[in-house]
Chains A and B, each alone.
Chain A
Amino acid sequence: MRGLVLILAAALAASAASAAPALNARYADPAQPDITGVWQLTGYFTFRADKSIPKLKPPYEGLYARRMKAFDAGKPIDDVTADCLPPGMPHIQVVPYPFEIMQTPGRVTMLYEYAGQVRRIYLDGGQPKDPDPTYYGTSVGRWDGDALTVSTTNIREDTQGDFTGLPHSDALTITERFRRTAPDTLEDSITLDDPKAYAEPFTSVRTYKLHPTWTIGEYVCEENNRNQIQANGVTGFGVPPVKK
C-alpha cells in the first residue's frame, strides 16, 4: 500500500513537473507557428512609443487638438474608457496590461486583462459576416511564414488610437503583423490605413515581453469605478463617494 502511494505521488509530481512548462502550450495549435503565452507591452503606451502621430485631416485634426488641449490642462475629454466602455482597436494593443494568446485550429484568440476583453482572429476566411461596426472590428488572419498577418475592418469610429484620444474614421483598416522575434519577444507591426482621417498610412512597431509565470487576473471595471465622465464631459476623480 505504501509503495502504491509512493508511485502515485511520483506520478503526480512527474505530471506536475511536465505540466508546468506546458501551461501555454496547451492552447497551441501544432499547425500554426507558436505565439502563445502571456505578453506585456514594452515602451510607452501611446500608439507609437515616441508619441508621434499620423498627419490628420480635418475635422479629425481639430478634434484631436481639442482633446490634447484638454489633456494638457488636466481635464481629459472624450475618454470613454473612464465610463468602463472598452478601449477597442487599436487602443487595446498599446495598453500596459498583459494579454494572453491562445491558438486553436482556425483561430487565434487574444484575451486581455484590461477589462476582460477578447479579440477573435479567424484564419482562412472563417469570419462571421457582421454588418455592424464593433469595438474590435472583424479580424481575418493569415500565416505568412512565421508571421501572423491580421486585417481588421468594421471598427467603431469612437474607439481611439491610445489614451490620448487619437481619432480615426469609420474607413479605418488596421493591418498587423505578429511575429515572435525571440523566444520571449513578440512584435506587432500595426498599420493604420484611414484615407478619411489620415493623409497617409501610419505604422507603429510594438514589442511585447513574455511573462511565463504570470496568469491573467480578473478585472471588472464596473466593480468600483470612481472615474466616471462628469456632466461637463471631463473624466472624474474619486467619484462616487466610497462604496462599501
Chain B
Amino acid sequence: MEPTVHRRRLIGLALALAALAATPAMAHHSFAMFDRDKPVAISGVVKDFQWTNPHVWIQVMVPDAKGTPQEWGVECTSVNFLRRQGWEKDSLKPGDKVKLMIFPLKDGSKGGQLNKLVELNGSTAALPGYQ
C-alpha cells in the first residue's frame, strides 16, 4: 500500500520526535523579545507555512476571547535546523489545526518563538522536536 501524503507526514514527524535532541532555540537575531521563561499554548488553524530562511514562519489564526480569529506569527528556527529534526516543507499546510507551545513576545503582541508543535489535526502521536 502506498503511504498517503498524510501518513508520510506523520512518519516524518515521528522521525522528528526520534531526532529530538537538546537543540538550542536559535534565532539569527537576538531573541531578547521572547519571554523564554513563560511558554504558552496557542491553538488555531494554519494560514500560511513559510519554509524560508533565516526563519521558518507559521502564520496561524487563533480565536480571541470573543471567538474572533486573530492572526499570530510564530517564528521557528532555520530551514536546515528543522530539516535535521525531520520537518519538511509540507509538514504543515494551510488549514491544518495545530496546537503550539510558544515563547510569547514580551510586549504582549500576537506572536512568539516556536517551542514545539504539540498537536497536529488532533494527533498527539507524533510531536516533532523543537525547543
Contacts and interface: CB of A to CB of B under 8 A. Distances in A.
A45 B26 contact: yes
Interface string B86-126: 00000000000000000001110101000000000000000
Contacts of A220: 53
Interface in B44-85: 48, 50, 52-55, 57, 59, 73, 75, 78-81, 83-84
Given A217-B79, A219-B80, A76 B30 contact: yes
Given A219-B54, A221-B54, A238-B111, A114 B35 contact: no
A215 to B, nearest CB: 9
Nearest to B33: A74
B53 A223 contact: yes
A72 B53 contact: no
What class of interface size applies to chain A in its complex with B?
35 or more
A75 interface: yes
B31 to A, nearest CB: 8
B48 to A, nearest CB: 6
SS class, residues of chain A in contact with chain B: loop
Contacts of A82: 28-30
Interface in A114-168: 114-115, 163-165
Contacts of B54: 84, 115, 219, 221, 223-225, 227
B32 A75 contact: yes
Contacts of A219: 53-54, 78-80
Contacts of A97: 26, 78, 80-81
Interface string A190-228: 000000000000000000000000101111110111110
A235 B30 contact: yes
A236 to B, nearest CB: 9
Interface in A30-49: 44-45
A242 B30 contact: no
B95 to A, nearest CB: 16
B16 to A, nearest CB: 16
Contacts of B31: 163
Given A224-B50, A242-B48, A235 B55 contact: no
A113 interface: yes
A79 interface: yes
25 contacts: A45-B24, A71-B32, A73-B106, A74-B32, A74-B33, A75-B32, A76-B33, A79-B29, A81-B28, A82-B29, A82-B30, A97-B81, A113-B80, A115-B28, A163-B27, A163-B30, A164-B30, A218-B53, A221-B54, A223-B53, A224-B54, A224-B55, A237-B73, A237-B75, A238-B75
Given A72-B32, A79-B30, A242-B50, 10 more contacts: A74-B32, A74-B33, A76-B29, A114-B28, A217-B80, A219-B80, A221-B53, A224-B57, A226-B55, A235-B30
